[in-house]
Structure 1
Amino acid sequence: MECKKVKKDFKVVGMKNKGAFANYGSEVPKFAQQFLSRASEIQNHSNTEIALYEPKRDENHIEGYYYVGMIVHDALNEVPSGMEYIEISQEYATTRGRITDVGDLHLQLIKWSDEHGYQKNLGSYIIETFHPIENDLEEIEIYIPIHS
């Protein structure tokens, strides 16, 4: 697994939801399916699915906001009803691997970030992008926001 620091810009059209951090594993994929049923309404999308997560600040932070959406190529003037356009430019610690390893990928990325002295930016979203590969499998790219 390769971890690295990158500066990345994201342009996203997505739908916002709120839920308990403990339920994200089941809740976010269900909400993503609702969103995907409307993806054809989005102009100029890249076919790359994306999720943005509010970071958990501490043990008392039980619920958080998240978005599910699609990366778009350019800024949009019109966004479908119930969706939002978001632009984010941030420095991240990032890695990519099989979606079945998502928990381990997050842990290894956090460990790598700590070892390299990067501090998490709790004011910016954690981002995951999803990339189909052969045999109906999927890879995930994880971006943890860091202070430069």
Structure 2
Amino acid sequence: MKRVRKTFKAAGMHGFGAFTDFGTVVPELAGEFLKQLKANGSEPATEAVFFEPKRDDHHLEGYFFAGMIGHEEHPENMDRLDMQEQDYVTVRGSLGQIADLHRELSVWAAEQGYERDLETYIVETYHPAENGEEVEIYLPVIGQRTVDKHT
């Protein structure tokens, strides 16, 4: 786990839904994106999904974006997402452990004193690996809180 400063540019498709349905609707949109990408004769580069963070218990629905990283040109029927440079905490591991990775990264970030940025998308990038697929998770952070050692 580490802190990085990154910019993301992606082509893909926007979606919206209940946070409780993200486990279903996000993969469906990603599948539709890949189908349209292949129909346009393009091959995917690094696949990625961008998620609006859930800010509190009353925040029930959110936006997401499924696509591919790094394509300057994109098919006509797809949207472009350009995220400005941002600080993130990140971890990479097995896609099958994604929930644990999110939880462990959140705990680590808090222990390191990082404050979550709830106004910037969470990013997941997907990578082929020998034993299936890996995911790299980027949680946006504002910075580290300072701790007053004299109180």
- Structure-2 separation of matches of 1:68 and 1:110: 22
Corresponding residue to 2:116 among 101, 120, 124: 120
The answer to whether the Cα contact below 8 Å between 2:34 and 2:44 also exists between their aligned partners in 1 is: no
Q: Deviations over 1:36-88 (max 9, x none)?
A: 00124387x76110000000010000000000000124x33x6422x211111
For the pair 1:105 / 2:113, whether they are aligned, the reply is no
What is the SS of the residue equivalent to 1:112? helix
Q: Show structure 1 runs of 4+ deviating over 4 A.
A: none
Partner of 1:134: 130
- Structure-1 separation of matches of 2:110 and 2:46: 29
Corresponding residue to 1:70 among 62, 68, 71: 68
Question: Aligned-pair distance for 1:124?
Answer: 0.5
Q: Deviations over 1:88-146 (max 9, x none)?
A: 121100000000000000000000000011011111100000001125x1000000000
Gaps of 5+ in 2: 144-151
The answer to whether the Cα contact below 8 Å between 2:13 and 2:67 also exists between their aligned partners in 1 is: yes
Percent of pairs identical after alignment?
Answer: 43
Change in Cα spacing, 1:58 to 1:29, as seen in structure 2 (3 Å) is: same
What is the SS of the residue equivalent to 1:60? coil
Higher Cα Rg, which structure:
2
**Pairing of 1:13-92 with structure 2 (within 5 A):** 13-40=11-38, 41=40, 47-73=45-71, 75-76=72-73, 79-81=75-77, 83-88=78-83, 89-92=85-88
| Number of matched pairs | 141
Q: TM-score, normalised by structure 1?
A: 0.89
- Structure-2 separation of matches of 1:147 and 1:42: 39
Q: TM-score, normalised by structure 2?
A: 0.87
Quote the RMSD (CA, aligned, Å).
1.7
